[in-house]
Chains A and B, each alone.
Chain A
Amino acid sequence: MKNNNNDFSLNQRIPSMMLTDEEINFRQYLSSAEISAIEHEVAIMENREAAGIEALKVVQAHRGWISDDSLIAIGQCLNISSAQLEGVATFYNLIYRQPVGHYVIHLCDSISCHLTGYEEILHTIKAHLDIDYGQTTADGEFTLLSNACLGNCDKSPAMMINDKHYHSLTAESVIAIINGLSQYVEQEQ
């Protein structure tokens, strides 16, 4: 059987030591802010299971990624098995089941970008940050991932870093954008 999983994505977990269901109490593990945000989604859907993807996004927004322990805690909170929730979590490109950097670069690799210079942008980012797809820089600042069509096809090549889109990329502009963000991180620290 062929394995269709995208080798570059971080939506697959890495086997690790994890706490068991008995060892986690979601009321202690999740913050009250996380729980109330999840309950808000549950109320909208009138169904606990249906809040699964929103719950994953809530916890990821607070913690940067979804660890095994987080997965168990969310499963408890929604009263569904962690196995079922794992099936949802690993389905989506924007749910990270491994730690990611401060900035996650999602480079569009779809057709319009392919036709207008995606390769050069990819090589530039890889060389500038010295990372490949699926990797994070040693200082924990940048993670590089591919993304299916970002819907900026009239201004390709395009990428998304966290929740901001950048378009009409050139080798020069992509370096300037990354350097600008690096400085921003330094100032924050």
Chain B
Amino acid sequence: MTDNSWLEGALSQALTKPLTHLVNLEQPLDFNGYVRAGGYMGATKAIKEFTPKEVLAIVSDSGLKGRGGAGFPTGMKWSCVPALQEKPPQNLHAEQGNSYLICNGDEMEPGTFKDRYLLEGVPHQLIEAMIIASYTISANKAFIFLRGEYHVAARRLQKAIDEAYENNWLGAKIQGTDYQLDLYLHTSAGRYICGEETALISALEGKRANPRAKPPFPQVSGLFGKPTVVNNVETLSNLPHILKHGCEWFKGLSPNSDPGTKMYAACGQVKNPGLWELPMGVTIRELLYEHAGGMPDGLQLKGLLPGGASTDFLTPEHLDTPMDFDSIGKAGSRLGTGGLIVLGDKHCPVAMVLNLLSFFAQESCGWCTPCRDGTAWAVEILTRIEQGKGTAADLTQLDELCDFMWLGKTHCALAPGAVEPLKSAMRYFKTDFEQHIEQGCCTYKETNQNQLGRASNE
């Protein structure tokens, strides 16, 4: 049982930390506990007081943007579902009115662990959120697409789903209304590309998970050819609170134009790695130095990725940039998933970029040539440079690869995501790349890059 003092403390933060105030990683709230803490009030309001179009209007008005990395406005995404369009297509069959909601819980972006925290810590919040979203887009079937490695989350979500069925929050005639929703948990088997929404749909259909060409967009033709909305865990988790407390409250959470709170994180070479729900738009400085405790003793900040592996490096000169979609964009990177990956000055940036590119090369689905070949060649060239065997021509070649793999030349966003850290590293850490080539070795290794005194000989 949850003790009352914990609950009191949690509830005192309900209006400032909506997403995480009920998170309990040791023992998440069960159905009754969640209801006692104010849970399912947002869903009650949605299905009893509003029509789907009214919920859509509320979510659009709140200004909620997708938290999976791209930052696309959620209301706009939903509004493309044929049944929700202002003038639904005349040939709209009943069939098309039946759509799917999929929660994207395939969190696998290196340096990102925010969704795991919500999935393990407050599973009922996601289920409530999915009821609201499914109701809005007229879905009678919804899936949670969870990455295969999140075993704890899988057990807790399945338990929460079972409890929701027992309490008439899932199944037929939900809470006495005519609305029906079935919710299933699908666990994947380990592949990064499944987080791309069209690849995720291919995966759920049992196909090799290659991304699909857009258009048609999933909202029109997605899972099994039906209208499908794919939303990230954190995005969805905002819904119960927006319904419960309203748009004005949601907008007021943030001091700038991007509303709401955001799950921010820091990992890598920082003193206190962790996760914090903060008003959207805290500066990198505040996140790194006040929340994450700054750099470990003896290290200076060299650079950081602001939102996962597929974002551009930023440097100490960007410390005062607010972490919101627009500001980080203007600084030349992307907010992505909002998790800082921090690099100190004693670790080789070339080795770091090599690690990142190795990930993308391994996880490329292989469908299009620029990505399949480009990422692998980048790894080969970076390996050469890191080992001190690179030439000046290699840098030109990497530049060209960055161009070949850029947006518009590939089937999906994986390769451009790989280019972002590579290209920005070559710009900000140019001297390091050149020194490797000129001196024929990695100077960081001699100054104990990895406390081991052991060179990588993989």
| Cross-interface CB contact of A50 among B205, B269, B356, cutoff 8 Å | B205
Given known pairs A93-B191, A148-B363, the reply for A50 and B204 (CB within 8 Å) is yes
A153 to B338, CA, bound (A): 13
Q: Is A152 an interface residue (CB 8 A)?
A: yes
Q: Is A176 an interface residue (CB 8 A)?
A: no
Let me know if B267 and A154 touch, CB within 8 A: yes
Q: Is B320 an interface residue (CB 8 A)?
A: no
Q: Is A16 an interface residue (CB 8 A)?
A: no
Q: Is B454 an interface residue (CB 8 A)?
A: yes
| Cross-interface CB contact of A112 among B111, B115, B188, B192, cutoff 8 Å | B111
| Cross-interface CB contact of B205 among A47, A93, A94, A116, cutoff 8 Å | A47
Query: Which residue on A lies nearest to B153, using beta carbons?
Result: A151
Let me know if B456 and A119 touch, CB within 8 A: yes
Interface of A is mostly: mixed
What distance in Å separates the Cβ of B165 from its nearest Cβ neighbour in chain A?
14
Which of B198-227 touch A at CB < 8 Å?
A: 203-209, 224
Given known pairs A56-B189, A92-B191, A149-B112, the reply for A115 and B269 (CB within 8 Å) is yes
Let me know if A4 and B372 touch, CB within 8 A: yes
Q: Point out which of A88, A117, A149, A163 has the most chain B C-beta atoms below 10 A from its C-beta.
A: A149
B372 to chain A: which residues have CB within 8 Å? Answer: 1-2, 4
A128 to chain B: which residues have CB within 8 Å? Answer: none
A151 to chain B: which residues have CB within 8 Å? Answer: 107-108, 112-113, 115-116, 147, 149-150
Given known pairs A4-B372, A114-B352, A154-B267, the reply for A149 and B110 (CB within 8 Å) is yes
| Cross-interface CB contact of A94 among B186, B190, B450, cutoff 8 Å | B190
Which of A98-122 touch B at CB < 8 Å?
A: 106, 109-112, 114-117, 119-120
Q: Of the 9-residue stretches B47-55, B373-381, B390-398, which lies at the interface with chain A?
A: B373-381
Q: Point out which of A47, A106, A151, A163 has the most chain B C-beta atoms below 10 A from its C-beta.
A: A151
| Cross-interface CB contact of B189 among A1, A4, A51, A53, cutoff 8 Å | A53
B450 to chain A: which residues have CB within 8 Å? Answer: 117, 119-120
What distance in Å separates the Cβ of B218 from its nearest Cβ neighbour in chain A?
16
Let me know if B111 and A110 touch, CB within 8 A: yes
Q: Is A150 an interface residue (CB 8 A)?
A: yes
Let me know if A164 and B151 touch, CB within 8 A: yes
Let me know if A148 and B108 touch, CB within 8 A: yes
What distance in Å separates the Cβ of A40 from its nearest Cβ neighbour in chain B?
11
Given known pairs A50-B204, A153-B113, the reply for A91 and B209 (CB within 8 Å) is yes
Query: Which residue on A lies nearest to B374, using beta carbons?
Result: A2
A117 to B267, CA, bound (A): 13
Q: Is B239 an interface residue (CB 8 A)?
A: no
Let me know if B203 and A148 touch, CB within 8 A: no
Query: Which residue on B lies nearest to A162, using beta carbons?
Result: B151
Residues of A within 8 A of B (CB): 1-4, 6, 44-45, 47, 49-54, 56-57, 78, 80, 87-88, 91-95, 106, 109-112, 114-117, 119-120, 123, 147-156, 160, 163-165
8 contacts between A and B (CB under 8 A): A2-B376, A56-B189, A93-B190, A93-B191, A111-B352, A117-B452, A151-B112, A165-B151
**Shortest Cβ-Cβ A-B pairs, 3 listed:** A93-B190, A92-B189, A2-B376
